[in-house]
A and B are shown apart, each in its own frame.
Chain A
Amino acid sequence: AQSVTQLGSHVSVSEGALVLLRCNYSSSVPPYLFWYVQYPNQGLQLLLKYTSAATLVKGINGFEAEFKKSETSFHLTKPSAHMSDAAEYFCAVEGGGTSYGKLTFGQGTILTVHP
């Protein structure tokens, strides 16, 4: 079975500081990996995805994530946080085996940005 673990349910940073949201996955096959963002009272919006091309993936709003197979990680980063980045972020994996193609989400990380 595949699973996703997001380390830290809440992350707080100052405006202009580095954002690092951690995601580790387990999957029996090379996965597709995604980061979604959810703003208050809205649906999920795709930030970026890894589909076995470049291991460093750039997404919208200045976010990027690096796929590290040896660490089974797909951490999300942004060099400089903006107030508008405050939201909940979900990492997700689409794997194989008995979980073929099923998108499994992590528990989410709420990002707070302080002025």
Chain B
Amino acid sequence: GAGVSQSPSNKVTEKGKDVELRCDPISGHTALYWYRQSLGQGLEFLIYFQGNSAPDKSGLPSDRFSAERTGGSVSTLTIQRTQQEDSAVYLCASSLEGRGSGNTIYFGEGSWLTVV
């Protein structure tokens, strides 16, 4: 596609439920990132995928968070047993090459998650 596509754009879920957020990166981009943007916390790195390498999961805040990337393209971020503090905008991004390249990272419009 022309840009990074994320779905759903908005999700309201009950505390304790699981949610899945999907990201479709720009075609041909080998690197994929998930960030979380919440009020007062700025933009937090969550996880990074580069090609077939093991993902960098160092930013995931707890073991309730997981992500996978299938076929080097689409990625799904899963949050289990959601808590109110998980409410945030989850941003996906992709770049042509990965880290250390200075490549432009292109962001999707985000998935706004509200846990009630």
Q: Enumerate chain A interface residues (CB-CB to B < 8 A).
A: 32, 34, 36, 41-46, 49, 51-52, 90, 92, 94, 96, 100-108
Bits for B78-116, please: 1 = Cβ < 8 Å to A, else 0. Answer: 000000000000010100001111101111111000000
B91 contact from A44, A92, A101, A107, Cβ within 8 A: A44
Q: With A43-B109, A51-B102 as given contacts, are A105 and B33 in contact (CB-CB < 8 Å)?
A: no
B42 contact from A42, A46, A94, A108, Cβ within 8 A: A108
Contacts of B108 in A (CB 8 A): 43
B48 contact from A36, A102, A106, Cβ within 8 A: A102
CB <8 Å contact, A103 and B98:
no
Among B48, B100, B108, which residue has the most Cβ atoms of chain A within 10 A?
A: B100
Contacts of A108 in B (CB 8 A): 42-43
Contacts of B93 in A (CB 8 A): 44
Among A34, A92, A101, which residue has the most Cβ atoms of chain B within 10 A?
A: A101
Considering the chains assembled together, what is the distance between the CA atoms of A92 and B43 in angstroms?
A: 10
Q: With A43-B107, A43-B109, A44-B107 as given contacts, are A101 and B42 in contact (CB-CB < 8 Å)?
A: no
Can you list 29 contacts pairing A with B, beta carbon distance less than 8 Å? Answer: A32-B102, A34-B105, A43-B108, A43-B109, A43-B110, A44-B91, A46-B104, A46-B105, A49-B102, A49-B104, A52-B102, A90-B42, A90-B43, A92-B43, A94-B99, A94-B102, A100-B100, A101-B98, A101-B100, A102-B48, A103-B33, A103-B105, A105-B35, A105-B42, A105-B43, A106-B42, A107-B42, A108-B42, A108-B43
